[in-house]
Amino acid sequence: MAGKKGVAVALQAEINTEEEWLKLLEREGLVVVDVYSEWCGPCVGMVGNLKKLKLEIGSDYLHLAIAKSDGIEVLKRFRNKSEPTWMFIAGGSMVNLMFGANAPRLMKLIAQELEKETKVLAGQRERVAIPFSELTQEEKNRMEEIKRKEDAEKEKEARELADALEDLKIRNLTRFAKLLLDKTVMVYFPHMIDENNTCSAAFKMLAQYDQVSMAVHDQMEVQITPEQIPEMFFDCEIKLSENFKEALVAKPCLASLLMFHGAPPSDSTSPPPLYLGMVEEKLASFVYGVMSHTEPPVAHTVAENFQETREDGELWPGLWTPLTYLSKASAVKVLFPHTLVTLDFKEEELPPPRYCMIFDASRANEINDVIQEYNEDILKVGFFDSMDGAVAKSVAKNMKQLERLGAEKIKQMKMVMALAKRTSDPLLAFSQLTPLYISPDTKIGSKECDMFFPPPNIFEDEDDEEGDEDLEVG
């Protein structure tokens, strides 16, 4: 919108200082002011419409002006903004305000406000003034709309984060469950343990575990906290009353980690293969009669034998075992946390905000020097046949694999990098290498990185091919 004003000089008074502004307020009639910031200039594109309207109306009560907000205090809220702003002034006060370059709307509003002010000057109506320091209704509406959009965006981001955390939790529990294929848990609740710290139910069950080819691998008393209850019964349909929950955290429960010792079939020397959910199904079917925490339990089952009716009539389960591998994995983390260390299990974390950067694969050796310098900030590096993450196919994960493609094919390939946003130094360093593409922001970049580097399938065995490390570029 900046540029030579030309006709705007004759048509619109130029207001740059407080003194000029105060003189403008003294004018009789309606003053329509184009409020602008110096860096972008007034709305020159509207001059033709204003000139035409001025000629058509021919009223001495219509005045046009352009005011630079940078040097006028009452206009400070309009500084550093590029959107056209039209202020209507009468009797030294603001009477209306409009934003945007909608010419028909502006012309109509000028005609309406001029008619109102003409009647005011004729004593036919009262002027409705708005203090310069007060937000107009349009400004309030715009601010409310901006806030609504910001709140909606925050809610969306919160949902996306919650979904991402839930997906990560499922992913970690599934990975952990794959290390527990031959194990599950049995929990005896605190009210099953007598004053002598003895659990008769646990002793009775010792011999019965043989029926499902299981034995106690580890056993310990565990004090459950209120915060751990949702984790212990994750992915579990069991309904626990508030009274039961209070009793659960009042005293320790007895937890048994059971191991499956499946005998090989008669026609084989090898035990049956284990799979996710197998041991949970075996023990749960034995305990509950069905794969469900039904209430009341199925007749003549372990669950029914050890349930207890309280004085208030509530039915309390005496023991519990998970039905799913997710539920089991979560319970083991609560009841036997040392297992995480024993199995050397490390949970994946949400990746940090990141940028996606793309270079020609032929420059890999050159880029590698900078990669080595900022290795901790490089989350992923790979080579693809396209810059479009939606269709790109991985052709190599490291330099050795890339070199096998041959020089001619390498010229057609792209080197894609996921760069964490921790400090600005790595981004600046790689930007100086003139990449083919860099994400405009981390929100877009994170999504692009996920397209090129999706998490591996947790239900498939990890690729142990030598030299397949994503970050091994040099």
Residue 145 exposed, middle or buried by CB count within 10 Å (0-12, 13-18, 19+): exposed
CATH 3.30.70.141, applies to 177-265+273-342: yes
- Inter-residue contact 246 to 229 (CB < 8 Å): no
Residue 92 — φ and ψ, nearest 5°? 80, 5
**Cβ neighbours for 446, distance < 8 A, ≥ 6 positions apart:** 351, 353, 354
CB 114 within 8 A of CB 57: yes
User: Which two three-digit tokens encode residue 327?
Assistant: 């539920």
Per-position pLDDT tens, the chain of length 474:
444 344 444 689 999 999 999 999 999 999 999 999 999 999 999 999 999 999 998 888 999 999 999 999 999 999 999 999 999 999 999 999 999 999 999 999 999 999 999 999 999 999 999 999 999 988 999 999 999 999 999 999 899 999 999 999 999 999 999 999 999 999 999 999 998 889 999 999 998 999 999 999 999 999 999 999 999 999 998 889 999 999 999 999 999 999 999 765 656 666 678 899 999 999 999 999 887 777 777 888 999 999 998 888 889 999 999 999 999 999 999 999 999 999 999 999 999 999 999 999 999 999 988 999 999 999 999 999 999 999 999 999 999 999 999 999 999 999 999 999 988 899 999 999 999 999 999 999 999 999 999 988 777 665 444 444 444 544
Q: Could you tell me if 318 and 309 are in contact, meaning their C-beta atoms sit under 8 angstroms apart?
A: no
Give the pair of three-digit tokens for residue 418. Answer: 């996921």
Give the chain's count of helices (H) and strands (E): 17, 16
Instruction: Give start and end residues of each alpha helix (H) in 289-363.
Output: 302-305, 325-335, 338-342
Select from 2.40.50.140, 2.30.30.40, 3.40.190.10, 3.40.30.10 the CATH code of 7-134. 3.40.30.10
pLDDT score recorded for residue 120: 95
Q: Tell me the CA end-to-end span of the chain in Å, nearest whole number.
A: 51
What pairs with residue 315 in β-bridges? 309
Q: What is the DSSP letter of 204?
A: H
